[in-house]
Amino acid sequence: MQVNETLSEGLKHEFQISVPAADLDAKVDERLADMKDKVRMNGFRPGKVPVGHLKKMYGKSVMAETIDQMVRDTNTKIFTERGFKLATEPKVTLPTEQDEIEKLLDGKSDLNYTVAIEVIPAIALADFKSFSVDKPVVEVSDKDVDEAVARIAEQNRPFAEKAEGAKAETGDRVTVGFKGTIDGEAFEGGTSENIPVVIGSNTFIPGFEDQLVGIGKGETRTLKVTFPTNYGNDKLAGKDAEFVTTASLIETPEAITPDDEFAKKLGLESLDKLKEAARARIRQEFDGATRQKVKRQLLDQLDETHKFDPPQTLVQQEFDLMWESIKKEMESVNRTFADENTTEEKAQEDYRKIADRRVRLGLVLSEIGEKNNITVTDEEVSRALVERARQFPGQEKQVWDYYRNNPSMLAQLRAPIFEDKVVDFLLELAKVNEKPVTREELFKEDPAPAA
């Protein structure tokens, strides 16, 4: 076997490989000899089928399998000997001319093919003990808890039916049925019955709730609205619609006092227990925001201390995914690059830099994990899958089966677990400075990372 490196430019390499026909033929004979004891053919006793006859019957198919295995084994040997870590699957180019293929399958010619690869560069990891991050700390105040309890009370406020003849006002709950049309045609999802609408809650299409003010029980109105340009359904976004709406019930909100009785209605023992639950929930929110701030600082320092040219194939793939998402989002809200005070060319340049950063950081995190034996167990993935399935009540089994039958989807669950474990590892080494901040500072959005 001959291996000649025909290209070595940065992270890209290409090899020309030639495998003698005699080597292929020997592998085919080995396979056929192994088949001899297993094949059952009319006219021959078990294990007595001549290899020559088997070669005549199955030679080409066995040669095809042999070539496939030889290419994979040869490539693996080449990459292993040179210490290459591949960025993507190798691109193998085999003979395409029919005459060449026939000669190859008949064992009358050598196997000549090329393989092109892009490799992951060697990454020199920084001294993570030199890293320093500020950990924002916010105490959960009694005011935070009281406001949370008040919100819970508002969400569970009871309503009572208004007197006969009373009209709906802002704050009232109106139960309606409606049929929506666009240009006189009914549309999917535009018809519903017994839908409770709290006027002023801003949970419906803009303008829908306002037009219910003054409606009475049993009254029918035609409400004219316009779907937002960023509406989730592209077929409806920005469209003018009419809803023939009938009110079947008008209710007014009743007073509610957060006390022990209210807490018991929610399944808790007392108001103190409700406050404890609210405090724990707020603490969880604060901890989550703190984690994101710290993680962002770590990633920024990893970015600054690990500058190298990543595999451009991976960068292009990352950019393509982002760019497709950006284009769809802009189309859905009917905005242009000019509306964003930029041009398409400038936006592409910016997102390519972001793609470069993402790929580099991904490779660095992977290298840290590999060098420090950081792994994700199947049990951890299963727990994450259980949590994902719980997000779809009634469809848990379908979600479970979908992920279990799609390795790429399981990889999407595994990736954030791995990243979090690497972040935890880095935090054990870095200097972490606790920094008291306000709630507003904690939830203030960070500026976009410098590309």
Chosen CATH of 158-253 out of 1.20.58.1290, 3.30.990.10, 3.10.50.40, 3.30.70.260: 3.10.50.40
272 CB neighbour count, 10 Å cutoff: 11
Element (H, E) at 241: strand 240-253
The token duo for 188 is 């999917």
CATH architecture of 263-442: Orthogonal Bundle (1.10)
* pLDDT for the residue numbered 35: 65
* pLDDT for the residue numbered 451: 45
Domain with CATH 3.10.50.40 in the chain: 158-253
Tokens 């590999």 correspond to: 370
Q: Residue 411 pLDDT > 80, yes or no?
A: yes
Homologous superfamily of 2-118 in CATH?
Trigger factor ribosome-binding domain (3.30.70.1050)
Buried b (16+ CB within 10 A) or exposed e, 36-73: beebeeeeeeeeebeeeebbeebbbebbeebbeebbee
Give tens-digit pLDDT for 320-332: 999 999 988 888 7
Residues in the chain: 451
Give tens-digit pLDDT for 167-190: 999 999 999 999 999 999 999 889
417 CB neighbour count, 10 Å cutoff: 16
Q: Residue 311 pLDDT > 50, yes or no?
A: yes
Domain with CATH 3.30.70.1050 in the chain: 2-118
Element (H, E) at 6: strand 2-9
* Mean pLDDT computed over every residue of the chain: 90
Q: Residue 425 pLDDT > 70, yes or no?
A: yes
By the 8 A CB rule, do 48 and 37 touch? no
Which of these ranges, 177-186, 314-323, 332-341, has the smallest mean pLDDT? 332-341
Domain with CATH 1.10.3120.10 in the chain: 263-442
**Pairing relation of β-strands 2-9 and 12-19?**
antiparallel
Which of these ranges, 35-44, 272-281, 424-433, has the smallest mean pLDDT? 35-44
The token duo for 121 is 């560069």
- What single letter denotes the amino acid at residue 227? F
The token duo for 243 is 């809803």
Distance between CA atoms of residues 351 and 330, nearest Å: 15
* Helices 344-371 and 271-305, axial angle in degrees (round to 10): 100
Residue 120: HSE in the Cβ half-sphere, 13 Å Cα cutoff: 17
* pLDDT for the residue numbered 104: 87
